[in-house]
Structure 1
Amino acid sequence: MATTSAGLAFSLGKPDGHAAVGREETLENVRQIINATTLPVAADLENGFGDDPSTCAETILLAAATGLSGGSIEDATGNPNNPIYPFELAVERVKAAVAAARSLSRPFVLTARAENLIYGRPDLKDTIKRLEAFADAGADVLFAPGLKTPEEISAVVKAVAPRPVNVVMGLSGGHFSLQQLEDLGVKRVSLGSSLVRAAYGAVFRAAEEILRQGTFTFADTAKSYGDMNTLFGKY
C-alpha cells in the first residue's frame, strides 16, 4: 500500500504541496495505516520535509522507525516561487536518502521523484536527466508524475532501465489500462490523490444537486449504510 500527501492534506482541510502538513503529522498518519493493515506500506514523504540532504536522511530513518517498507523523496521545494530544486542539490538529497535507507537493518524501497511536469516545467529532457542521476545515486524506483503519452513513458522506462518506473494514474490527460502500462515497461502504478478526489467529487455533486435542484437522487448510487457498517465492523 502507499500513502498520498494530497489525500492526507485534503482530509485535514489543508492544501498539498506547500509544506502545509508537517513531518510528524505525516508519520502519525503512517502509523495509523500500518496498524490497520498487514500489507507493507510505503509513504509519500514529499521533499523530505526540509531542503538539506541531511534532513532527507533523517526523514528516511524516522519513517523506517514507524515500520514503513518504503518511501519517496521528491525534488519539489514546496515554494511556489521556486518549485524545483537545482539539479545538483536534488541529486545530493537523493544520495543522502539512499544512504540512510541502506543503513537500515531491513529492506526499505526508496523512490526518487522528478516533479518538473506537474509544476509547470514541461521539460522531459531535464526530467529524464534527473531520473537517470537519481538511479545512479541508488534509488530503487524512479517516478515522474505527469507523463501523459506512450512516448514519454517509454522514454523514461528506457532511460533508467533496468530500474523500475512508477507511473501515476488518475491525473487528467493520461488514460491507460494496466495492460498498456505493462506493455510500455512500467513496473508500478500508483493512484496519488485520484481516489480521494473521486470521493470529494461525489460529495460536491451531491451538495450541488441539493442546492440547485432540491433533489436527492445522488443517494441512489451511494454506498449503503449497511454496507458501510459491515465494512467498518470488521475492524
Structure 2
Amino acid sequence: MTAAPAAGPGRPAAPGGADAFRALHRGRAPGDPLVLPGPWDAASARVFAEAGFPALATPSAGVAASLGYADGATPADEMFAAVARITRAVDVPVSADVEGGYGLRPEELVERLLEAGAVGCNLEDSAGGVLKDPHEHADYLAEVRSAAAGRLFVNARVDTFVHGDGDPGRAVERAAAYVAAGADCVYPILAPQAVLPLLRAGIRGPLNALARLDGSGPSPAALGELGATRVTFGPGFQLRAAAALREIAAGVG
C-alpha cells in the first residue's frame, strides 16, 4: 500500500481531496450509511484501510488516549502530528476530530489540517461542558469554510444531547444555523435513537450518527434506516482494543 503524502502549501489534501470525500456522502440509500471507523494511530489506520473502509475519521478521545492524555487535554501540536502520522500511513481519505479548534484562527486551523493531510474535520459547539452561542459558532464555521475554499469537509458537531437540555428542536435549530454557515454535515452526538427520524426530517444535508460497539445501540445499517448519512464510533474501537489488550496482558505470566 502506498502512503499518501501529507498536504501542504500548494498541494491538495490527499488522497482524493475533500471533493472525493464529499462524494462518499452523496446518494446513500437508507440502511447504507457511510461507515467511518476511528483510527487512533498509524497501525490502527492501516488495519481499517486494509479491511476495505473507503475513508476514516479520527476520534479526539482515542488519539488522546494513545498519546497519554485525557480526552480534551491533547495539545494542538501533538494532535496535528498524530493526524499526520495517520494520513501518511493509508491511501484513503482521513477526517480529523479537532475538538473545538484549539483556539486557532480559522486560517491557521485550516492550514494545520491541510498540512496534516486531512480532508475534513469535526468541530464541536461546546467548550468546557457548556454550549457555545450558536450564532457565534456559525460565524466561526463560516470563516473556516471560507478559509478552506472547498478543501475541507466540515462536520459540525451539535452537543445539545451532551451538554444541553436534549431538546430535539434546539438541536435542529443549531444544526440549521451551521448548515447555513456552510457546514457539509452535522453531528448531533449521542442523539437518542428515537429522535433520529425527527432530526433527519428537520436537517438539510448529511447527518452523522454515533454507533456503539458494545451492542447497546442500533447497528450502522439500522442508524442509516433511521436517517443517518454516515456513522462514526467515537473512541469505541480504541476502547475495545485496550480492553482486548488488558485481557491478553492478564493472561501472560
TM-score, normalised relative to structure 1:
0.76
Give aligned pairs, total.
198
Residue number among 186, 189, 198 corresponding to 1:155 in the alignment: 198
RMSD across aligned positions (CA): 2.3
Contact conserved, 2:211 with 2:219, CA < 8 A, in 1? no
1:13 matches 2:68: yes
Unaligned runs of 5+ in 1: 211-215, 220-235
Partner SS, residue 60 of structure 1: helix
Deviation (angstroms), 1:177: 2.0
Please list, as runs of the form range in 1=range in 2, the aligned pairs for 1:24-43 lying within 5 A after superposition.
Answer: 24-43=77-96
Residue of structure 2 equivalent to 1:60 = 110
Counterpart in the other structure of 2:4? none
Structure 1 counterpart of 2:225 = 183
TM-superposed deviation, 1:120:
5.6
Partner of 1:47: 100
Larger radius of gyration: 1
Is 1:97 the counterpart of 2:144 in the alignment?
Answer: yes
Unaligned runs of 5+ in 2: 1-55
Distance 1:171 1:23 in 2: 28
d(CA) in 1 for partners of 2:142, 2:213: 29
Q: 1:3 aligns with which of 47, 55, 58?
A: 58
1:166 aligned to which of 200, 208, 220: 208
Alignment of 1:137-148 (within 5 A): 137-148=181-192
> Given that residues 60 and 97 in structure 1 are in contact (C-alpha distance below 8 angstroms), is that contact kept between their aligned partners in structure 2?
yes
Identity %: 27
Amino acid at match of 1:181: L
What corresponds to 1:23 in structure 2?
76
Tell me which amino acid in the other structure corresponds to 1:94: L
Deviation at 1:56, TM superposition (A): 3.5
Dislocated runs of 4+, deviation >4 Å? 171-174, 204-207
Cα displacement (A) at 1:40 = 0.8
Q: Is the contact between residue 125 and residue 157 of structure 2 (CA under 8 Å) also seen in structure 1?
A: yes
TM-score (norm. length: structure 2): 0.71
- After superposition, the C-alpha distances for 1:186-208 in whole angstroms (9 at most, x for unaligned) are 1111111001111222344566x
Structure-2 separation of matches of 1:168 and 1:57: 29
Contact 1:60 1:71 in 2 (8 A): no
In 2, the alpha carbon distance for the partners of 1:188 and 1:85 equals: 24
SS of aligned partner of 1:14 = coil
